[in-house]
RNA sequence: CGGGCCGUCAUAUACCGGUAGUAUGCGUGCUUUGGGAGCACGUCGACCGGGUUCGAUUCCCGGCGGCCCGACCA
């Protein structure tokens, strides 16, 4: 069934809760749980409920558009991986890998997906023969499983999470780095569209690559990383590889280096030929010489992004979704016994994604829920507002205005929240 | 994986070695209707296992689960 761009709140099977759950202390998890966006099934394992899934889909759509724009071809790979994949690259015994023991077996013969370099390298080996088959890039949005020793911070570090992973295949390192720069640019666009200020940061590669890599970092007190950043020109280094320190002059401009906690929202890795070699992923070049394909990989944590956005966009009353990722565009409240059905249908006719609070609830409860859920525009119909008029208020605005529906539609069109800048 | 804290109605909490209380929610009815309404009645609870004890939800041990700090990490 297709998820409709409009909904009556009385039909929504989830409810808001007034009090923060005692088993969540991270702000993103508290607000998302209270609003009915997510349900925690285990530590670091969440269900995305109807409202939350709409946000995930909005973020995914932005990511898809930008990946498609740099030639990414979307596919979907399996979550269940035979052990030969990780054995081939020596990663079978990496400790975050969840291994699967089937009924009747003593030893695990599969693992569940923690990353897909091996899977796609093997697939690519079937189709790539010549330099004429290169370059290309493919991506998926899929669930990753990692046995984190300590899941924490709500959606920011889970054991199961949604990730977009893009892999690129090249005839040369030069071509890889050319594409790498294009993906970095695409990532900038993704984060801008999601309303985030993300710093392009030099970092260490970890398990995935031997080279230094680059990460996109959003400054936030809940971050697990520490970056050295010049806020004037946007130059940033992860503290783990940085030779700079707080108070130093920026090496790129006349600004000053600051030290900040940050959340990694994206990363890009030059992989080289490690995975190509393991799976016989070779091509024949113009001179007839057989060579290893050069690979890159590029990740964005989709579910983490939802958590980060909540950390950045909230107030004491609830979430303030940037319009681009909001579950709906408008939240229609019928108060004082008014019937909002007419306005509800009119908004639909004008293509506005609207959640209609038609519940038999008090005004205070509807206002509180609207603030908590955080849809960008709140539209009220009531006897007080008057026949033929609506009251409209942006979630972050202090005051509401009364106008005709046509004027309200115009206002919403004009004042689209297009997000913050990127450095 | 080391350390700390914590498991009580659906939710948030309180008390207690001897009949587990409050608020919210939920149900019914009436009254309400612009910032989580009021009244009445009703409804629902001690994570699991073992030990100590006349008696354990309470104390002890173990398990399981959750959160936090650290290490590690999208």
Each residue of A84-136: pLDDT tens digit?
Answer: 999 999 999 999 999 999 888 889 999 999 999 999 999 999 999 999 999 99
- Residue A376's CATH number: 3.40.50.800
Residues A72 and A117 both lie in one domain: yes
Nearest-CA residue relative to C1' of B36? A365
Domain count, chain A: 2
Cα separation values, A170 from A71, A167, A264, Å: 13, 10, 26
A397 part of a folded domain? yes
Nearest-CA residue relative to C1' of B34? A363
Residues A214 and A361 both lie in one domain: no
Rounded to whole angstroms, how far apart are CA atoms A343 and A380?
A: 10
What is the distance in angstroms measured between the alpha-carbon CA of A330 and the sugar C1' of B33?
Answer: 23
Dihedral of alpha carbons A236, A238, A243, A247, sign? positive
A13 part of a folded domain? no
Rounded to whole angstroms, how far apart are CA atoms A361 and A309?
A: 29
Residues A53 and A180 both lie in one domain: yes
Residues A298 and A382 both lie in one domain: no
Give CA A220 to chain center in angstroms.
Answer: 16
What is the distance in angstroms measured between the alpha-carbon CA of A48 and the sugar C1' of B61?
Answer: 39
A164 part of a folded domain? yes
Domain end among A315, A348, A379: A315
Residues A349 and A219 both lie in one domain: no
What is the distance in angstroms measured between the alpha-carbon CA of A223 and the sugar C1' of B4?
Answer: 22
A15 part of a folded domain? no
Residues A168 and A286 both lie in one domain: yes
Residues A268 and A388 both lie in one domain: no
Residues A278 and A387 both lie in one domain: no
pLDDT score, position A372: 97
Residues A134 and A278 both lie in one domain: yes
Low-confidence ranges of chain A (pLDDT < 50): 1, 418-423
Residues A351 and A390 both lie in one domain: yes
- DSSP-assigned letters across all residues of A49-94: -HHHHHHHHHHHHHHHHHHHHTTEEE----SEEEHHHHHHTT-TT-
What is the distance in angstroms measured between the alpha-carbon CA of A370 and the sugar C1' of B32?
Answer: 22
Which nucleotide is at minimal CA–C1' distance from A336? B33
Residues A306 and A169 both lie in one domain: yes
Residues A295 and A405 both lie in one domain: no
A95 part of a folded domain? yes
Which nucleotide is at minimal CA–C1' distance from A144? B74
What is the distance in angstroms measured between the alpha-carbon CA of A286 and the sugar C1' of B1?
Answer: 52
Q: What SS3 state is found at A257?
A: strand
Beta bridge partners of A238: A227
Which nucleotide is at minimal CA–C1' distance from A158? B74
Cis preceding-peptide flag for A135 (omega within 30 of 0):
yes
Domain end among A280, A315, A350: A315
Q: Half-sphere exposure (CA, 13 Å, Cβ side) for A104? A: 0
What is the distance in angstroms measured between the alpha-carbon CA of A142 and the sugar C1' of B5?
Answer: 35
Q: How many CB atoms lie within 10 A of CB A118?
A: 20
Domain end among A283, A315, A347: A315
pLDDT score, position A423: 41
A6 part of a folded domain? no
- Residue A55's CATH number: 3.30.930.10
Do A293 and A386 meet the contact criterion of CB atoms below 8 Å apart?
A: no
Which nucleotide is at minimal CA–C1' distance from A215? B74
pLDDT score, position A4: 87
Which nucleotide is at minimal CA–C1' distance from A157? B74
A31 part of a folded domain? yes
pLDDT score, position A418: 43
Provide the residue range defining the domain that includes A375. Answer: 328-414
pLDDT score, position A102: 85
Q: Which nucleotides of B are covered by protein (CB under 7 A)?
A: 1-2, 11-13, 24, 32-37, 65-74
What is the distance in angstroms measured between the alpha-carbon CA of A369 and the sugar C1' of B15?
Answer: 33
A161 part of a folded domain? yes
ipTM above 0.90, yes or no: yes
Contacting residues for A365 by C-beta, under 8 A, at least 6 apart: none
What is the distance in angstroms measured between the alpha-carbon CA of A46 and the sugar C1' of B60?
Answer: 36
Closest C-alpha among A265, A293, A303 to residue A137: A293
Supply A151's token pair.
């899941």
Do A151 and A157 meet the contact criterion of CB atoms below 8 Å apart?
A: yes
Predicted TM-score of the model (pTM): 0.96
Which nucleotide is at minimal CA–C1' distance from A264? B74
Supply A92's token pair.
């079978």
Each residue of A288-304: pLDDT tens digit?
Answer: 999 999 999 999 999 99
Beta strands at A294-301 and A160-170: parallel, antiparallel or unpaired = antiparallel
């Amino acid at each position: 069934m297709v998820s409709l761009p409009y909904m009556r709140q009385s039909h929504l099977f989830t409810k808001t809760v007034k009090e923060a759950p005692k088993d969540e202390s991270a702000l993103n998890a508290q607000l998302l749980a209270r609003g009915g966006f997510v349900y925690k099934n285990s530590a670091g394992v969440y269900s995305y409920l109807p409202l939350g899934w709409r946000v995930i889909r909005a973020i995914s759509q932005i990511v898809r558009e930008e990946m498609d724009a740099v030639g990414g071809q979307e596919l979907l790979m399996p979550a269940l991986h035979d052990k030969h994949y990780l054995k081939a690259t020596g990663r079978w015994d990496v400790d975050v890998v969840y291994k699967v023991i089937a009924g009747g077996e003593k030893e695990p013969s599969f693992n569940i997906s923690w990353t897909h370099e091996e899977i796609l390298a093997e697939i690519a080996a079937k189709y790539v023969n010549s330099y004429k088959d290169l370059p290309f890039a493919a991506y998926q949005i899929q669930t990753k499983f990692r046995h984190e020793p300590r899941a924490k911070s709500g959606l920011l570090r889970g054991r199961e999470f949604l990730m977009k992973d893009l892999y690129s295949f090249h005839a040369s390192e030069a071509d890889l780095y050319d594409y790498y720069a294009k993906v970095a640019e695409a990532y900038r666009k993704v984060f801008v569209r999601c309303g985030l200020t993300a710093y392009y940061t030099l970092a260490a590669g970890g398990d995935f690559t031997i080279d230094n890599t680059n990460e996109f970092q959003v400054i936030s007190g809940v971050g697990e990383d520490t970056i050295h950043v010049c806020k004037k020109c946007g130059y940033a280094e992860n503290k783990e590889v940085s030779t700079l320190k707080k108070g130093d002059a920026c090496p790129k401009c006349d600004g000053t280096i600051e030290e900040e906690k940050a959340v990694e929202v994206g990363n890009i890795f030059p992989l080289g030929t490690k995975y190509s070699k393991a799976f016989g992923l070779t091509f024949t070049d113009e001179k007839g010489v057989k060579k290893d394909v050069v690979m890159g990989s590029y990740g964005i944590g989709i579910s983490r992004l939802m958590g980060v956005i909540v950390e950045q966009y909230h107030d004491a009353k609830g979430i303030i979704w940037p319009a681009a990722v909001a579950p709906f565009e408008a939240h229609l409240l019928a108060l004082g016994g008014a019937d909002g059905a007419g306005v509800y249908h009119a908004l639909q006719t004008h293509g506005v994604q609207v959640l209609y609070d038609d519940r038999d609830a008090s005004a205070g409860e509807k206002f509180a829920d609207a603030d908590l859920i955080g849809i960008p525009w709140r539209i009220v119909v009531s006897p007080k507002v008057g026949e033929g008029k609506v009251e409209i208020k942006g979630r972050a605005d202090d005051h509401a205005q009364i106008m005709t529906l046509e004027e309200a539609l115009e206002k919403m069109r004009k004042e689209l929240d297009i997000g913050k800048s990127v450095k």
